[in-house]
Structure 1
Amino acid sequence: MNQPPSRLPHIGQWNGPEELRTLQEKQLQQTVTWAARSPFYRGRLDGAPLPATAADLAALPLTTKQDLRDNYPFGMLAVPKGRLATYHESSGTAGHPTPSYYTAEDWVDLAERFARKWIGISAEDVFLVRTPYALLLTGHLAHAAGRLHGATVVPGDNRSLAMPYARVVRVMHDLEVSLTWSVPTECLIWAAAAKAAGHRPDKDFPGLRALFVGGEPLTAARRRRISRLWGVPVIEEYGSTETGSLAGECPHGRMHLWADRALFEVYDPRTGDVRADGEGQLVVTPLYREAMPLLRYNLEDNVSVSYDDCDCGWNLPTVQVLGRAAFGHRVGAATVTQHRLEELVFSLPDAYDVMFWRARAEPERLRLEFEVEGQHRVAAEAELAASVRAGLGVDCEVTGLAPGTLIPHGALTAMPDVVKPRSLFGPDEDWGKALLYY
């Protein structure tokens, strides 16, 4: 792993939990001082002595997502606005913005944490960033991490008309892209688009070294399928727009919390208990964030945290993110989750080439559809129906669909023009397109 160039802590600087705790508490006092400058925490701390240790901090109430929304846009601001470098909002807030902002100094910490990939990022890499840039942190985070280590960054964005899937494949092939950053589903769609363009994903992209993924649940079965499709490692990370990267994988495939850069707690909402490890909701206090300090911020993600030793020697706690995997729908007497279904779908033989599926949980049965070539349809339907009934104990109607039914072939091959808006049209042109981009 490349060593970060800044004064901030780096992996290998401590030996064991005690030294890590000392490092955390040394920075915590500065973090609390920064927080006391914001209107929100100034009111919450209310003139009391500032917390100096993790034990003192635990006496403060949790900071919630609703607190961030209630203090939109700058109620959490702890520096003059002139020092801000970027402003962001997280997704999925149903019209209620959750603001986040960072200084240039904050961005050094953000970029370094994201760049902690065991496979490394270097000046020799061509790095395709294929997550949103607009308002979210995710695209900018990878972009900054790539540039920090000298990589050539390709700003792909996955919400832009300028970057259809056919262009993604062309760029990956022609530029010899070596690293990518996306949600896991994108990797499957690229594979289908590559095949539609006449390429073999695992043969015709020799520059590719790894696929960095995050932002959606990923089962072990789907990870293996993606890795075999492309012939490279799939490396997952965990974080949020409000905090940046919080955890990443070591060479042994375990997800480690960046506990040298943030203080973590595990909160049980049923009892109110807070512990250093075990299962519950992840609570985080970033230690090097000045613009918008967060003290005991509850991400509301269900996790399992452990301080067991790992062969990687990083001496950092490990985390399993459980939240989305636990959500499901009732079918008869059983609860069906996407996580369990995905494991079954991607446990089908690779020869069936199954990549895309959907399911509907109805009161008495599960309906599941997936794309599969005609010669494998009967066998795949029978095998998947049997595994669902055996694994989940529900009545299941399984239907194989022709490829292109769920992901239209046109979506994989189209290369639409992206034009600038104009107002003057000729006599035979459609002036209904005036001022529009498409």
Structure 2
Amino acid sequence: METVLKERLGPTLEAAARSPFYAARGVPAGRDELAAYPLTTKQDLRDAYPFGLLAVDRAELATYHESSGSSGVPTASYYTPADWEDLVERYARKHVGIRPDDLFLVRTPYALMITGHLAHAAARSRGATVVPADNRSLAMPYAKVVRVLHDLGVTLTWSLATDTLIWAAAARLKGLRPEKDFPALRALFVGGDPLGPAKKKRIAEIWAAPVVEEYGATETGSLAGECPYGKLHLWADRALFEVHDPVTGQTTPTGRGQLVVTPLYREAMPLLRYNLEDAVEVSTPGCPCGWELPVVRVLGRSAWTVRAGAAALSQGDVEDLVFGLPAEYGVMFWRARASAGSLLVQIEVPSPYAGRAARELRQALGDAYGIETVVEPLPPGTLVPSRLLTTEPEVMKPRGLFGEGEDWNKALEYY
């Protein structure tokens, strides 16, 4: 990694100097100066919208993207064809390889986000057949996802981790068993939301298939991938990573805080010490895989971290305990709300296990964080309504002419 850093840091700083944003701020001369350089923030990217970070002629761009805006106003990102070669190579670094005989279901948004386009391009680079299922689209409801998974014999999927649980619920409502009735499924590739070991294990049990985690962002592409031993490794041969403590302002190579990244193979939009504002834990344990790369655990957006009493909780903290409940309880969906002195957690759980699950989760949260907790067990279908899992909304093309007896109030309802 040191060799890569020495080779790539110079060109990275030179590219940054061609960006209006960094040209105005000033660019560090080398690694020592970079260590003291101000962090690039999401607000900086918003202020530079749309092309204030562009470091090449606009004619050299291949694609333009915007983030999901899950923690604020979306940010713009752009890539050259050479940038895309790097993006695709990093995404395809799965220990469960993408093969020409795979049917790869891409169930993340296309549109302006990069995630669907990236998985699509990586799958095609390996010769796989892509099933472009999209997400957040009326044209591809959950019932249709389940049908496609089953009828086509999909072998690989790419989605949010939580989405795989929703598919399972939809499949069961259709009379299908996720662990039995999808025998072609080789693996579920997931990313985009927190995935602790308990949740990951539960998803793998439900689908009887390995869960392979990916971590990245629209602004950067893939930043980490999972090795055969289940560790999520940062691609430190492609980027420089740091951990920022927002309280002390210090940055260190490892520890718990916000992930800061300096991509080393980026032409169109160089980023210097970009703070993703994701809450992470980074460590350097020895791993039998031999990759010799740092290990990261993604805890969620820092904006999603809340205080309950004296405890600061991330989504991952709570989710670990929710999915630590016995599998037989059938808990897949939950939500929580923190107040000054307590935490309210709601879980969907079948009635035979409701009281037991509530008591055990309340005890676990109290033991782990010393907070007053109220756990409300709810019937299945409360947090994720059954109608969401079974209906297929009518999606019309633009139409103005209707026959007698037809509902012409649908004339403009083609969304």
TM-score (norm 1): 0.87
1:327 aligns with 2:309: no
Matches within 5 A, 1:12-411: 20-45=1-26, 51=29, 53-92=30-69, 96-322=73-299, 324=301, 327-331=305-309, 337-363=314-340, 365-411=342-388
Query: Corresponding residue for 1:3?
Result: none
Classify the secondary structure of the residue corresponding to 2:320: helix
Distance in 1 separating the partners of 2:394 and 2:300: 40
How far apart are residue 370 of structure 1 and its match? Answer: 2.3
How far apart are residue 334 of structure 1 and its match? Answer: 5.0
How far apart are residue 243 of structure 1 and its match? Answer: 0.5
Classify the secondary structure of the residue corresponding to 1:406: coil
Shift of the 196–212 alpha-carbon distance from structure 1 to 2, 3 Å rule, reads same
Distance in 1 separating the partners of 2:357 and 2:279: 34
Classify the secondary structure of the residue corresponding to 2:229: coil
String of CA shifts for 1:100-148, please: whole Å, max 9, x gaps. Answer: 0001111110111111111111112111111111211111111111111
Distance in 2 separating the partners of 1:120 and 1:45: 42
Query: Corresponding residue for 1:12?
Result: none
Shift of the 338–23 alpha-carbon distance from structure 1 to 2, 3 Å rule, reads closer
Distance in 1 separating the partners of 2:341 and 2:238: 48
Query: Corresponding residue for 1:17?
Result: none
Q: Is the 8 A contact 2:300 2:316 kept in 1?
A: no
Distance in 2 separating the partners of 1:378 and 1:273: 45
How far apart are residue 227 of structure 1 and its match? Answer: 0.9
String of CA shifts for 1:198-224, please: whole Å, max 9, x gaps. Answer: 111111111111111111112221111
Distance in 1 separating the partners of 2:79 and 2:313: 40
Classify the secondary structure of the residue corresponding to 2:258: strand
Residue type matched to 1:109 in 2?
D
Distance in 1 separating the partners of 2:232 and 2:150: 30
Distance in 2 separating the partners of 1:247 and 1:28: 20
Distance in 2 separating the partners of 1:363 and 1:298: 28
RMSD across aligned C-alpha pairs, in angstroms? 2.3
Residue type matched to 2:7 in 1?
K
Q: How many aligned positions are there?
A: 414
Q: Is the 8 A contact 2:64 2:112 kept in 1?
A: yes
Q: Structure 2: any 5+ residue segments left out of the alignment?
A: none
Shift of the 356–282 alpha-carbon distance from structure 1 to 2, 3 Å rule, reads closer
Distance in 2 separating the partners of 1:212 and 1:107: 20
Q: Is the 8 A contact 1:31 1:287 kept in 2?
A: yes
Distance in 1 separating the partners of 2:278 and 2:341: 30
Shift of the 397–63 alpha-carbon distance from structure 1 to 2, 3 Å rule, reads closer
Residue type matched to 2:283 in 1?
S
String of CA shifts for 1:228-278, please: whole Å, max 9, x gaps. Answer: 101111111211111011111111111211111112233344444443333
Moved more, 155-164 or 56-65: 56-65
TM-score (norm 2): 0.92
Distance in 1 separating the partners of 2:273 and 2:343: 40
Classify the secondary structure of the residue corresponding to 1:134: coil
String of CA shifts for 1:359-418, please: whole Å, max 9, x gaps. Answer: 333455543332222333343344334444444444444333322222222211112222
Distance in 2 separating the partners of 1:425 and 1:146: 42
Classify the secondary structure of the residue corresponding to 1:246: strand
Residue type matched to 1:24 in 2?
L
Aligned residues with identical type, % of pairs: 61
Query: Corresponding residue for 1:6?
Result: none
Residue type matched to 1:330 in 2?
A
Distance in 1 separating the partners of 2:314 and 2:17: 42
